[in-house]
């Protein structure tokens, strides 16, 4: 599975959009981009995934560049409850390799 | 609530002992995955089962084993426990096995080895 690179930490003001970047320059054509988050020591929570096209659901939007070498997860209106570690993963099967992720802190 | 249940929630045991962690997947999910999360290692994939058969193996030690039963629940057996096995153990489930299926995680079992 391809390796991903994410910033270690980011801050965001409450009510503003949080944009979390992820680089996956060695991604293969059949690998999906997944985003999960983990709040404190709870089980990771699925957010969104995509292959080539941008995706949106009730939680977030996923923007994937045309060359698929990077992506951005957008939380449109961050709340304090969005404070968590966000993991970007690329995989073509269910053998998911979680990296260190980005620790997002939403501040009042 | 993801629909995945794990028992027990907490487990405290001694070195050299053996424990069994249990996971019930979401209704309709055929795949079960096990992960280990320790402070210094992050979230590590251990093993996957699909409809009773082993499908993928990650960083699982030989002292650890798992199985998935006909009712699709799964058990992770950890034996000859060492201090370093202290960690959160998560189970996840998904509908199928392909990369299109998101995984839903349970609340985890916190294992402490003294």
Contact status, residue B8 vs residue B106, Cβ threshold 8 Å: no
How high is the pLDDT of residue B18? Answer: 98
Q: Does B40 touch chain A if contact means CB atoms closer than 8 Å?
A: no
Give which of B20, B70, B27 is closest to B49, Cα–Cα: B70
The minimum CA-CA distance between A5 and chain B, rounded to whole Å, is: 15
pLDDT interval class at A2 (50, 70, 90): low
User: The tokens of A7 are what?
Assistant: 């910033």
Q: How many residues does chain A have?
A: 108
Cross-chain Cβ contact A41/B108 below 8 Å: yes
Cross-chain Cβ contact B99/A93 below 8 Å: yes
Q: Does B43 touch chain A if contact means CB atoms closer than 8 Å?
A: yes
Per residue in B2-14, pLDDT (tens digit) is 899 999 999 999 9
Task: Give the C-alpha separation, B67 to B76, whole Å.
Answer: 7
Chain A positions in Cβ-Cβ contact with residue B97 (cut-off 8 Å): 93-94
With 90 as the cut, is the pLDDT of residue B39 above it? no
Mean pLDDT of A83-97: 85
Distances (CA, A) of B71 to A63, B5, B23, B104: 39, 14, 11, 18
Task: Give the C-alpha separation, B62 to B32, whole Å.
Answer: 19
The minimum CA-CA distance between B17 and chain A, rounded to whole Å, is: 25
Nearest CA in chain A to B96: A94
- In this structure, the number of other CB atoms found within 10 A of the CB of residue B76 comes to 25
Per residue in B40-95, pLDDT (tens digit) is 777 899 999 999 999 989 889 999 999 999 999 999 999 999 999 999 999 999 98
How high is the pLDDT of residue B98? Answer: 65
Cross-chain Cβ contact B98/A31 below 8 Å: no
- Lateral strand order in the sheet of A55-56: A18-23, A70-75, A61-64, A55-56
Give which of B2, B14, B15, B21 is closest to B110, Cα–Cα: B21
Q: Which of A94, A95, A103 to mutate to test the interface with B (most CBs of B within 10 A)?
A: A94
- Lateral strand order in the sheet of A84-91: A9-13, A102-107, A84-91, A32-38, A45-50
Query: Three-state SS for A81?
Result: helix
Burial class (CB in 10 A: 0-12, 13-18, 19+), A14: middle
């Amino acid at each position: 599975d391809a390796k991903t690179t994410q910033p270690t930490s980011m801050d965001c003001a409450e009510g503003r959009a949080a944009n979390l970047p992820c680089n996956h320059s060695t991604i293969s054509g059949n690998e999906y981009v997944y985003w999960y988050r983990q709040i404190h020591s709870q089980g990771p929570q699925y957010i969104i995934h995509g292959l080539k096209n941008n995706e949106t659901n009730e939680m977030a939007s996923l923007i994937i560049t045309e060359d698929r070498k990077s992506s951005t997860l957008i939380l449109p209106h961050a709340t304090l409850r969005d404070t968590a570690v966000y993991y970007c993963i690329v995989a073509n099967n269910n053998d998911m390799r979680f990296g260190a992720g980005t620790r997002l802190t939403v501040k009042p | 609530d993801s629909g995945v249940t794990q028992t027990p929630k907490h487990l405290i045991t001694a070195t050299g002992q053996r424990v069994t962690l249990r996971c019930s997947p979401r209704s309709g999910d055929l795949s079960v995955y096990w992960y280990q999360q320790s402070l210094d290692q992050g979230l590590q994939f251990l093993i996957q089962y699909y409809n009773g058969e082993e499908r993928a193996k990650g960083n699982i030690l030989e002292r650890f084993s798992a199985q998935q039963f006909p009712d699709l629940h799964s058990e992770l057996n950890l034996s000859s426990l060492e201090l370093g096995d202290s960690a959160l153990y998560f189970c996840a489930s998904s509908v199928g096995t392909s990369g299109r299926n998101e995984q839903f995680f349970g609340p985890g079992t916190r294992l402490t080895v003294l």
